Amino acid sequence: MRPLRPQVRTLRGISGALLATLAVMASLVTAAAPAQADTTVCEPFGTTTIQGRYVVQNNRWGTSATQCVTATDTGFRVSQADGSVPTDGAPKSYPSVFNGCHYTTCSPGTDL
């Protein structure tokens, strides 16, 4: 019977080379798609675009109090929401993400 030692070394070498190749490929994919910096919008009807096709809108219309939304590459978060309005009336704002058109603001390249 032949010892398994050379075969184990060969298998380890191949596994190591495969892992190194995968690591290089992963770093290339990451480098090819740089992360987008977060964008903060505080204008009452301010907008920004994410992923090249969605619009993030602040849409603060029911109050003069400051509201800011911070758009990320996957959505948004309300980063500042000052003031309040009665709970039995209209909302003070409704930030959102959309693809299509909202009044005169349309997503880039939309057919909607």
Give the global pTM: 0.64
Residue of 34 and 77 predicted with greater confidence:
77
What is the helix (H) or strand (E) element at residue 5, kind and residue range? helix 5-32
Arithmetic mean of pLDDT, 8-26: 53
C-alpha torsion sign, points 23, 28, 25, 21:
negative
Average pLDDT of the segment spanning 55-78: 92
Whether the Cβ atoms of residue 48 and residue 59 lie closer than 8 Å to each other: no
Q: Measured between alpha carbons, how far is residue 48 from residues 15, 28, 30, 89, 93 in Å?
A: 45, 28, 24, 28, 17
Range of weakest confidence among 9-18, 56-65, 100-109 = 9-18
Q: Please state, in angstroms and rounded to a whole number, the distance separating the CA atoms of residues 80 and 46.
A: 14
Structure tokens at 92: 């003070």
With a cut of 50, say whether residue 35 has pLDDT above it.
yes
Q: Answer yes or no: is pLDDT of 91 > 60.
A: yes
Q: What pLDDT score was predicted for residue 62?
A: 82
86 has pLDDT over 60: yes
pLDDT: which is higher, 101 or 37: 101
